[in-house]
Amino acid sequence: MAEDYRQYLKPHVVSKLANMELRARLVVEGFITGLHQSPYHGFSVEFAEHRQYMPGDEIRHIDWKLYGKTDRYYIKQYEEETNLKSYIVLDTSRSMGYASPGQLSKLEYGSYVAAALSFMMIKQQDAVGLALFDREITSYLPPHATKAYLRQILIELQRLRPSGTTGAGKSLHQIAERIKRRGLVIVISDLLDDPDQVIAALKHFRHKKNEVIVMQILDPMERSFAFGGEALFTDVETQEKLMTQPWQIQRSYQEAMRTFLEKYKRSCRENYVDYVLLDTGTPFDVALVEYLSKRGRIH
C-alpha cells in the first residue's frame, strides 16, 4: 500500500491526475506514507502537531505517548508556534514552458511543487500565500491559513499558462517590497536571468529578515544539451531561431551551465539562502524534504 502512495511522488504519474487539488493531496499523502521507509524517517508523520526535541526544550512539553510509539522524543507544539507565514513565489515566464520530449514543462513541475507545499502548509496550520511573476508580478495572494483559501491557490495554479519574458530580478524585488510580515519565502524558477540581479533580490528578502529557499527547476536537456544531430533552436521568449550542430558546442555549453549554476549555489550559501536544484523528472519528495527541513529550523 505504501508503494502505491509512493508512486505519487513521480512527476509523470502526477501529471495524469485530473486536477490540482487531487495532485496536491496525493503527493503529500505519498510523501508522508514514505517518510518512515526512507532516509527522512527522522521527521514525525504527525509533523503538524509535533517537532523533534532539541537541547534546551522544556522536558514537560515532551509527548511521552508518542515516545512510547516511536522511541524518539517529540515536543508538542502549540498554536502560536505553528503560525508561520509562507510565500510561494512562482515564475510563469515563457522560458518555464519549455519541455523536452517525454518531460513535463518546468511550469507544470513548479506548479505541482507549489500545490503540494501549499497543501502541506495548510495541514500544519501555517498561512500560505502565492505570488506569480514573469517580467513583473502578475498575481499576488497574501498568506492565509484556511482550507477555503487553499482551494483559491490551487485554482490559480490549475489555470497557469507560461507568458511574458523573464524578469526575475525586478519581480522578486517587487515581491520583497510587498511582504510586510517576515516569514518563509520559497522561490520556484528556472532563474534564467542575470544572476547578479536575482541574487540582489534574494538579498532583499534576507535584509527584511525572511527565511528563503530557492528551488531552481531545469529540464534535463538544459543541463546536458544532449540533442544529437543538427537541430533548429527557437528562443521561447523572442522566437529567434538558430540552426546548429549541438555536439559541436555541447562541451562549452555544459561548462557555461556549470559555472552559471555554481554561481547561484555559492551566492545562496553566502547569503544564508537554502538552494536546491531540481529537474522536471526529480521525485517531489526532494522539494518537500527541503521545505520540512527548513521548517524544522525556524523557531
Q: What is the pTM for the complete model shown?
A: 0.80
Residue 283 has pLDDT above 90, yes or no: yes
Buried b (16+ CB within 10 A) or exposed e, 4-25: ebbebbbbebbeebeebbebbb
> What pLDDT score was predicted for residue 113?
97
Which has more confidence, 99 or 6?
99
Helices (H), the chain: 2-6, 11-14, 20-35, 64-70, 79-82, 106-123, 147-158, 168-178, 195-207, 220-224, 246-270, 285-297
User: What type of residue is 50?
Assistant: H
CA neighbor of 153 nearest in space, from 182, 116, 184: 116
**pLDDT over 90 for what percent of the chain?**
55
Residue 74 has pLDDT above 70, yes or no: yes
CA neighbor of 111 nearest in space, from 29, 20, 9: 20
The two beta strands, 85-91 and 74-76, are unpaired
From 13-17, 140-144, 195-199, 293-297, the region with the lowest mean pLDDT? 293-297
Beta bridge partners of 85: 127
160 vs 176: CA distance, rounded Å:
22
| pLDDT tens sequence across 217-269 | 999 888 865 555 554 445 555 667 655 655 566 677 788 888 999 999 999 99
Please, what is the Cα angle at 84 between 129 and 295, to 5 degrees? 105
Measured on CA atoms in the order 7, 11, 16, 20, is the torsion positive or negative? Answer: positive
User: What type of residue is 82?
Assistant: T
| pLDDT tens sequence across 79-118 | 444 568 999 999 999 999 999 888 999 999 999 999 999 9
278 vs 256: CA distance, rounded Å:
18
Where along the chain do its domains lie? 2-80, 83-219+255-297
> What pLDDT score was predicted for residue 77?
63
Residue range 139-166: mean pLDDT, rounded: 92
Q: What is the average pLDDT value for the chain, to the nearest integer?
A: 84
Q: Which CATH architecture has domain 83-219+255-297?
A: 3-Layer(aba) Sandwich (3.40)
The two beta strands, 85-91 and 184-189, are parallel
